[in-house]
Amino acid sequence: MKRVNETNDGGRTVAGVDIGGTKVRFVIRSRCVTIYSHVVPYVAASNAEFLRLIVSGLEDLKVLAFKRGLTLDAIGMGCAGMVDRKRGVLRFSPNMTGICEIGLVRAVEDATGSPAFLENDVKCALFAEWTEGAATGARNVVMLSIGTGIGGALILNNRFYVGHHGYAGEIGHIPVVQRGCLCGCGKRGCLETVASGTAIERYVRESLDRGAASVMMREEALDAQHIAAFAQSGDRLAARAFRRAAQYLGRVVTILVDTLDLDMIVLGGGVAKSGLLLDEMKQYAAAHSLSLLFEGVAFAEARFQNDAGALGAALLAEKQLEGCSIYEV
């Protein structure tokens, strides 16, 4: 079994797919360069609809590659939620209603004729950051991805840590608020309910309904991206919403640092792009972590941001096709 850094011939052509709660990103990577990237918004209410979308998109990629004189050597898929990578099955995704127990790998391989691999989307994003991005050289690193929900992934001792059941990294579902809001996973008070993009939107709208002072109108609080713009222009309510989310993130980062003795924390996802979370999160963790464990821990924003999941899926597929050792034994 080869190690990740023992092979990189650069001659393969691989597809990467990042499947989120509301959109799918497709990429083609050939000779170590991303040559195509496309995002498709979607709404799927059933496994059948979901499969048709993914398979259709990958069939289009196969045709596009062929027109460029290329053949897809492998397909990597990153999907939000809990995936069984050994069986190639998406088990459950809290933010994808009606989609569960779906055999993605078999369906894709049957449709395209290319070997396919499935992994959690944040693990894919972390792999991109670890091999070519912000976490290059880190030995023990955790990534938190802040978007519609909150995902996580862990590399420990230079290997993905997936745990006993294979689902390690569900950081967004660590309970942080007793008797808090209902989460998509079915529990209450998860980190996702107070620190995700969805949570930031809910906090602002509920605050406005209670008469909180703000230059925002309720209809302007469309999503975390719009709220971030108000925060950056000095709106106190918008800034408070991000500061509150960052402090909850810092609380969980404190647990991770004190438990795992990490080298690095990487913050990614669409909401993190605002730049309003990292510093406050780090300050909270610095104030509450054990000083000997916090010393030397690096904090960074993801380099690839929205492209990380699809790029990482492609990189993972390439390495697994080459027989590289990626996961802990």
Q: Does domain 2-126+310-319 have CATH number 3.30.420.40?
A: yes
Taking only the tens place, the pLDDT of each residue in 159-208 is 999 999 889 999 999 999 999 999 988 999 999 999 999 999 999 999 99
Predicted local confidence at residue 16, as pLDDT: 95
Predicted local confidence at residue 3, as pLDDT: 41
d(CA 208, CA 205): 5
Same topology, domains 2-126+310-319 and 137-302? Answer is yes
Going from N- to C-terminal start, the domains of the chain cover 2-126+310-319, 137-302
Predicted local confidence at residue 8, as pLDDT: 45
CATH number given to 137-302: 3.30.420.40
- Residues in the chain where the model's pLDDT stays below 70: 1-10, 329
Taking only the tens place, the pLDDT of each residue in 22-32 is 789 999 999 88
Predicted local confidence at residue 267, as pLDDT: 97
**Measured at the alpha carbon of residue 251, what is the angle toward residues 250 and 256, in degrees to the nearest 5?**
90
Edge-to-edge strands of the sheet including 89-92? 82-84, 89-92, 100-103
Q: Using only the alpha carbons of the chain, give its radius of gyration.
A: 20
Question: Could you tell me if 311 and 27 are in contact, meaning their C-beta atoms sit under 8 angstroms apart?
Answer: yes
In SS3 terms, 122-169 reads as HHHHHHHHHHHCCCCCCCCEEEEEECCCEEEEEEECCEECCCCCCCCC
- Bridge partners, 154 (sequence order): 142
d(CA 221, CA 236): 14
Predicted local confidence at residue 326, as pLDDT: 85
Which tokens go with 174?
């660590």
Predicted local confidence at residue 10, as pLDDT: 55
Predicted local confidence at residue 266, as pLDDT: 97
Question: Strands 141-146 and 264-268, how do they pair?
Answer: parallel
- CB neighbours of 9 closer than 8 A, spacing ≥ 6? 322
